[in-house]
Amino acid sequence: AADTKVLAKLKTAVTRETLFKIEFKPVSDKDIVFPPVRVNAIAKEVMNKYFDEVIGDRIITTGNGNCLFNAVSLLLYGDESKSVQLRYHICLRMVRDSTSYMNHPHRKRIQCLSPSYEATCIDCATIGGFSSAWTILALCDIIRRPVRILYPLVNGVNDFAHTSLNTTFEPSSVVPAGHSTINILWYAQGQLPKQGSWYAVNHFVPVLDMKCKSKNPLTYYKDDIDHRYKEYDNSEGDNIVTLDSLNCSVGLDDDTDILQTDEYGEDIYIMEAKTTGECCESLDPIVSDVSDVNNDHKSVPLQTMRPASNPGKFMTNEELLKVIKSTEIGEKSIPHGIKCNVYIVIEASDDDNGAKYFPDDCGVWDWKSATTVNQTFVVTDTLDKLRTVYIKRNSTVLRKWSMARSYMNHYFLSRRVL
């Protein structure tokens, strides 16, 4: 949770700064200054492998924590000189219009994949602070143009982050004429995907001169679909938005049937982004071939694939502990096959390398709470308490993690395929 004192000071500062009425003047397409081309070799390889497009130029941005603002400044002004100015105005907008952004129709998806809104506001007020989907929403309003985020499909075909963030963010107001969409790649700086490893994005790179590989134009989004949150009516209550009804991936009509049935009779949710069929066919997954999911559908042992007692909802720690204590057989790895609304207990007490990653044919079960909706739990030596473990790049948390490991005899992972 964000520091309440820091947040209170930030709100006071924003109120004061607003009095000066410093306006940000968005630049139109005719006034854009194109930067000198410096091709990012890693970004180029990621783009060519995981997107069905030929990208002319990828520009190198400074990796100093300000990369989102550096990328936008390069795309619109030809250099990174407007980076701090963009951060300043985005921070003001996020604090001043917090209610609007926190009531965004897709807020539940964003909450699963991003720090809290308050924490993001504080980060935005700090040079080098982390940027998330919350930041991008406000960015669109400041520059008054759509921002297309290119999020590679690396961590398996069911990667929740890809289906949610590989999309086009649009401003809350009508886009002025001559304000076309800008394209930004969100990837792992200096890293190519490695088999069995979680691909954690951490860097934004501006993309220029996007062209389709095929002769037919791609339909990434439709002009007649309005994804803007200004039409959101909060008077109907919070229940009007559910995870089952959310779809951050652009290109689906409002009346599209999200819930469908696969060849095995399983209910599945169609939430993939609108790229093309070629993208998934040519993709080389980091864990195993996607076809293995179908081939191994019946290979999951019954004792490790049990339907949840309350399907559709996450279990409490007490319910999870009860399940663990009643499970006699623990697996050494995640079985292949389709896993929907099931739990799997992994025997990992002697596996130091298993502390972070449990790969399977549907992706990777990650320990990073800011990246996925999965969580890792440990059971104390007395089997009377279940402890939730979050690992972040923080020495204090890592020390707590080392202490928790000494009491551990199982990992428990609960996964719900959305």
Residue 292 is predicted with a pLDDT of 37
CA gap 325, 328 in Å, rounded: 8
Q: How confident is the model at residue 386 (pLDDT cuts 50, 70, 90)?
A: low
3-state secondary structure of 290: coil
Of 37-51, 280-294, 322-336, the poorest mean pLDDT is in 280-294
Q: How far is CA 102 from the centre of its chain?
A: 17
CA gap 202, 132 in Å, rounded: 10
Work out the number of other CB atoms within 10 angstroms of the CB of residue 235.
Answer: 5
**Contact by Cβ (8 Å): 171, 144:** yes
Once rounded to an integer, what is the mean pLDDT over residues 140-167?
Answer: 92
User: What Cα–Cα distance (Å) separates residue 336 from each residue in 210, 358, 363?
Assistant: 37, 12, 10
- Tokens found for residue 290: 């996607």
Q: Which one has a higher pLDDT value, 225 or 70?
A: 70
Domain annotation for the chain: domains and CATH numbers: 4-231 (3.90.70.80), 302-415 (no CATH)
Please provide the average confidence, as pLDDT, over all residues in the chain. Answer: 65
- Residue 268 belongs to what H/E stretch? strand 267-269
The answer to whether residue 348 scores a pLDDT higher than 90 is no
Q: Closest by alpha carbon to 272, among 250, 244, 243?
A: 250
pLDDT in tens, 1-13: 567 889 999 999 9
pLDDT in tens, 282-317: 333 333 333 333 333 333 343 444 444 555 455 666
